[in-house]
Amino acid sequence: MSVVKSSVLALAMLAAAPVFAAVTINIDAAKPGAVINKNVYGQFAEHLGTGVYEGMWVGPKSDIPNTRGWRNDVVGALKELHVPLVRWPGGCFADVYHWRDGIGPQDKRPHNVRSNGSVEEINAVGTHEFFDLIDMLGADAYINGNVGTGSVQEMSDWVEYMTADGGSPLARLRAQNGREKPFKVAYFGIGNELWGCGGNMKPEYYAGLYNNYWTFLRAPEQHKPKMIAAGGDISWTDVLSRDLKDRTTGISIHQYTVPTGNWNIKGKTLGFEEGEWISTLAAASKMDQIIKDHVAVLDKNDPEKKIGLMIDEWGTWYDDADTSSSALFQQNSLRDALVAALSFHIFHEHADRVPLTTIAQMVNVLQAMILTDKEKMVLTPTYYTFQMYVPFQDAKSLPLAIKDNTSYTLGTTTIPGVSASAARAKDGKLYLALVNTDPSKAVDVAVDVAGTKVKGAAGKVLTSAAMDAHNTFQNPQVIKPAAFSARAAGGKLSIKVPAKAVMVVALEE
């Protein structure tokens, strides 16, 4: 049976699954809330495993079609996501990266080792190559500097190299290396995970260091990056938001979703039981409380809301991610698509305090958009979720209430059956995103927009028969979005959301 036929059949079977009517979603389109910053849909690309080399960069001489070394297939697929921002070069790698190793003729650049001491870093991708990539993507740069093994001078020089106008010796060096105009560094992060791989510091110590680094990161006014402090738990947010004040535009936190909640036995990537389906979605939903806790501290120390909470690493992390060479390659299934969608709904709710997130990571590492194996490339369910949510970038969030929500229970765990988010997009349309967390029951959702008679809905739905449905290099089209539409009847719009599904529709007003 062809893949197309089998997915049509699977959808037909899902439509025939038991349906529980009752859920009503009320949207108040007349009271738009905060704008969902497009950078909430940011990506993270670290020199880790095949995340950059092989996954994206193959070099100009490769047989794999490329543009100045960057894979055409991967760049083409990423463009469809309208990637707004890319964080680079780490992660833990940022705190062992010396930017001078990555400039000048590629064949003269030193080879050294990454943080775990066993993986060679060839430095073929450096500052100029990274900006070439993000120019192709039309994205902004979020550069992460080295506090752990670097110096104030080295970081100060890097910022000058990237942002200075003609008069500076480092701007002249940049021009010699092929780039006359300054690069646009939208965000600059001062270190990464200083509580751990970045140096095992205490927040008070890092706050002192941050202020010292910040003082010497000089850039012409019109090219000044927004600075991000590397945070940690609540105590870090507290200390940093008190001590850095106007010297930071954001404090980062990292929040990974681990199915079991236990980092020693995290849980399976594929072939998991329903228990790990619900525990993963429950774990992902904790993001809401985590953001609330950090925001409460920010509201205390920064009532003017000048400091953003930057969630610059998030996503799933499973056991069988390949740790043999710190590669962290992992498959990605329908469950990951739901984790991404639930996370987006939470980020939208906190749009006033969360202006930026970067999922870990863009290609071949952890919860990736794209997996590659030599010349082959496969798009993951997470990729499709990002694609379906593009209209939410820079959209105005809309208040929404879910009445009579279903709940999904397994054993002692219960989570809401339906999660939803609505926004008025830049194209003027009203978009509604829906997630049905229940893996076996479809749900009917009545949609009510205050003051408007909604005539219909049209968009995409992502689902499959299996909880761990995923695309492989042999079978790359197992799971992908299908078209969806519904018409109002008797003045009421009802949407049937299949079991274990993500849906994004534009409402016809």
CB of 446 to ligand AHR, least distance (A): 41
Between CA 92 and CA 99, with CA 95 as vertex, the angle to 5 degrees is: 120
Chain residue whose CB lies nearest ligand AHR: 91
H/E segment holding residue 307: none
Tokens 């890092």 sit at which residue? 206
Among positions 271-330, residues that touch ligand AHR (CB under 6 A) are 313
3-state DSSP call for residue 497?
strand
Q: What length is written for the chain? A: 509
- If the CB atoms of residues 383 and 408 are measured against ligand AHR, the closer one turns out to be 383
Q: Which of these is catalytic: 121, 276, 313, 349?
A: 313
472 Cβ partners below 8 Å, 6+ apart? Answer: 331, 378, 478
Q: Judge contact between 155 and 213, C-beta under 8 A.
A: yes
Question: How many residues sit in the footprint of ligand AHR (CB under 6 A)?
Answer: 11
H/E segment holding residue 161: helix 152-163
Q: Which stretch binds ligand AHR (CB under 6 A): 89-97, 154-162, 182-190, 382-390?
A: 89-97
- Measured CA to CA, the distance from residue 170 to residue 274 in angstroms comes to 56
Q: Which stretch binds ligand AHR (CB under 6 A): 73-81, 84-92, 106-114, 119-127?
A: 84-92
CB of 172 to ligand AHR, least distance (A): 33
CB of 197 to ligand AHR, least distance (A): 6
- If the CB atoms of residues 323 and 485 are measured against ligand AHR, the closer one turns out to be 323
Q: Judge contact between 317 and 258, C-beta under 8 A.
A: yes
CB of 473 to ligand AHR, least distance (A): 23
CB of 47 to ligand AHR, least distance (A): 9
Is 46 a residue that touches ligand AHR (CB under 6 A)?
Answer: yes
Is 193 a residue that touches ligand AHR (CB under 6 A)?
Answer: yes
Side by side, the strands of the sheet bearing 19-27 are 400-403, 19-27, 442-449, 493-497
- Measured CA to CA, the distance from residue 353 to residue 388 in angstroms comes to 23
Q: Which of 372, 265, 388, 266 is nearest to 315 (CA)?
A: 266
Is 49 a residue that touches ligand AHR (CB under 6 A)?
Answer: no
Q: Which of these is catalytic: 46, 121, 129, 193?
A: 193
Among positions 211-240, residues that touch ligand AHR (CB under 6 A) are none
CB of 132 to ligand AHR, least distance (A): 23
- Measured CA to CA, the distance from residue 366 to residue 328 in angstroms comes to 6
Strand partners, 113: 120
Q: Which stretch binds ligand AHR (CB under 6 A): 85-93, 155-163, 279-287, 376-384?
A: 85-93
- If the CB atoms of residues 307 and 360 are measured against ligand AHR, the closer one turns out to be 360
CB of 238 to ligand AHR, least distance (A): 21
**Is residue 46 annotated as a catalytic residue, yes or no?**
no
- If the CB atoms of residues 21 and 327 are measured against ligand AHR, the closer one turns out to be 327
**Is residue 508 annotated as a catalytic residue, yes or no?**
no
Q: Which stretch binds ligand AHR (CB under 6 A): 86-94, 280-288, 385-393, 491-499?
A: 86-94
Other residues' Cβ atoms within 10 Å of the Cβ of residue 508: 17
Q: Which stretch binds ligand AHR (CB under 6 A): 14-22, 87-95, 120-128, 490-498?
A: 87-95
Taking CB under 6 A as the criterion, the residue among 66, 144, 146, 192 binding ligand AHR is: 192
Taking CB under 6 A as the criterion, the residue among 137, 339, 360, 467 binding ligand AHR is: 360
How far CA 492 is from CA of 448, 455, 486, in Å, comes to 8, 8, 11
Half-sphere exposure at residue 16, Cβ-oriented, CA atoms within 13 angstroms: 7
- Measured CA to CA, the distance from residue 444 to residue 453 in angstroms comes to 18
- If the CB atoms of residues 149 and 301 are measured against ligand AHR, the closer one turns out to be 149
Q: Judge contact between 115 and 96, C-beta under 8 A.
A: yes
How far CA 229 is from CA of 110, 177, 188, 480, in Å, comes to 29, 30, 9, 37
H/E segment holding residue 238: helix 234-243
10 Å CB burial of residue 446 (0-12, 13-18, 19+) is: middle
Half-sphere exposure at residue 163, Cβ-oriented, CA atoms within 13 angstroms: 23
- If the CB atoms of residues 148 and 225 are measured against ligand AHR, the closer one turns out to be 148
CB of 335 to ligand AHR, least distance (A): 19
- If the CB atoms of residues 155 and 321 are measured against ligand AHR, the closer one turns out to be 321
CB of 312 to ligand AHR, least distance (A): 9
Q: Which stretch binds ligand AHR (CB under 6 A): 78-86, 124-132, 163-171, 360-368?
A: 360-368
Pairing of strands 418-424, 396-398: antiparallel
Is 147 a residue that touches ligand AHR (CB under 6 A)?
Answer: no
Is 92 a residue that touches ligand AHR (CB under 6 A)?
Answer: yes
- If the CB atoms of residues 361 and 436 are measured against ligand AHR, the closer one turns out to be 361
Q: Judge contact between 460 and 504, C-beta under 8 A.
A: yes
The residues carrying an active-site annotation are 193, 313
Query: What are the residues binding ligand AHR (CB under 6 A)?
Result: 46, 90-92, 192-193, 254, 313, 360-361, 366
